[in-house]
Amino acid sequence: MARMLIALLMAAVPFTSLAADEAADETGVQQTAVRALRWAFFAQNGYRWEYGGIIVVHDGQLGHSIVPGTMKMIDAVEIDVEKLRAPGDTLVALYHTHPCKSKEYFPQYFSPNDLISAFFYHVPTFILDECTGDVHEFDPAPNHAAYGGAFVTVLRKDGSERRVHLLAGQIVGNIGETGPDLSLIEELMGRKMY
């Protein structure tokens, strides 16, 4: 299903890219993503909820969302590009955190929704794996959904299991911090926190 949606998005939205002199190089975008994700990690309850935002070029300078958004959920964040983008901003990337809940989630992999967003906007997307501090990049232009990863078994809301292929992207940096493993905290407390 996710691959079909990605294929439809690739066909429906024309690809546009910035000229090299209009935007920062790939390394600059990656460094900005690492700084933005470090900032999001230290947001209030940053280790408990997903936070996300955008990376833009404004007046020839790379920048990121000053205040990353959150839905106060461990497994979802809405990145409303139009609300975050100021007049004159050119979107160059998306970013968001994956809190460390190692037994229930796969924080080192991009979800199908993460990939759909990258293909829809035709920009790289970055995730922070809070279990390791690693920043992963998936760029839909060169990668085309065939970039590493693993087959994992996920539990659906109805209790059934499904095997899916999740992508890891490439590790482009590390924020130098890790979040607590929320699965272990829940085990110690003997209850679900989320």
pLDDT (tens digit per residue) in 11-40: 333 323 333 334 458 899 999 999 999 999
Q: Tell me if 52 is assigned to some domain.
A: yes
To the nearest whole percent, how much of the chain has pLDDT over 70? Answer: 83
The whole domain housing 29 covers 2-142+170-189
* pLDDT greater than 60 at residue 42: yes
* Res. 56: pLDDT tops 80: yes
Q: What average pLDDT does the structure give for the chain?
A: 84
Q: Which residues contact 15 (CB under 8 A, 6 or more apart)?
A: 122, 141
Q: Give the helix ranges, DSSP H, for 92-144.
A: 112-121, 140-143
Contact 138, 109 (CB under 8 A): no
Q: Minimal CA–CA distance to 37: which of 47, 26, 22?
A: 47
**How far is Cα of residue 29 from the mean position of the Cα atoms in its chain?**
14
Residues 6+ positions from 27 with CB-CB distance below 8 Å: none
Whether the CB-CB separation of 51 and 97 falls below 8 Å is answered with: yes
- The neighbour count for residue 164, using CB atoms within 10 Å, is 16
Q: Is residue 75 part of a domain?
A: yes
Structural domain includes residue 151: no
Q: Which of 104, 93, 112 is nearest to 173 (CA)?
A: 93
Does residue 36 fall inside a structural domain?
A: yes
Please give the structure tokens belonging to residue 40: 């999001």
Instruction: Convert the pLDDT of each residue in 69-79 to its tens digit.
Output: 999 998 899 99
Instruction: Give the per-residue pLDDT at 145.
Output: 53
For the chain, the domain total comes to 1
Give the three-state DSSP class for 74: coil
- The pLDDT of 153-163, averaged and rounded, is 87
Q: Look at residue 109 and tell me if it is in a domain.
A: yes
What average pLDDT score do residues 154-163 get?
88
Closest CA relative to residue 93, chosen from 134, 130, 52, 133: 52
Residue 103 lies in a domain: yes
The whole-number average pLDDT for the span 117-143 is 93
Q: Does residue 157 form part of some domain?
A: no
* Residue 1's pLDDT band (cuts 50, 70, 90): very low
Least-confidence region, from 6-20, 47-61, 106-120: 6-20
Q: What is the pLDDT of residues 164-187, one digit of tens each?
A: 888 999 999 999 999 998 888 878
Q: Is residue 9 part of a domain?
A: yes
Q: Which residues pair with 55 in a beta bridge?
A: 64, 93
- Residue 33: the pLDDT is 98
Six token digits for residue 47: 């280790």
What integer pLDDT is reported at residue 18 of this predicted model? Answer: 39
State mean pLDDT over 43-65.
93
Give the C-alpha separation, 135 to 42, whole Å: 15
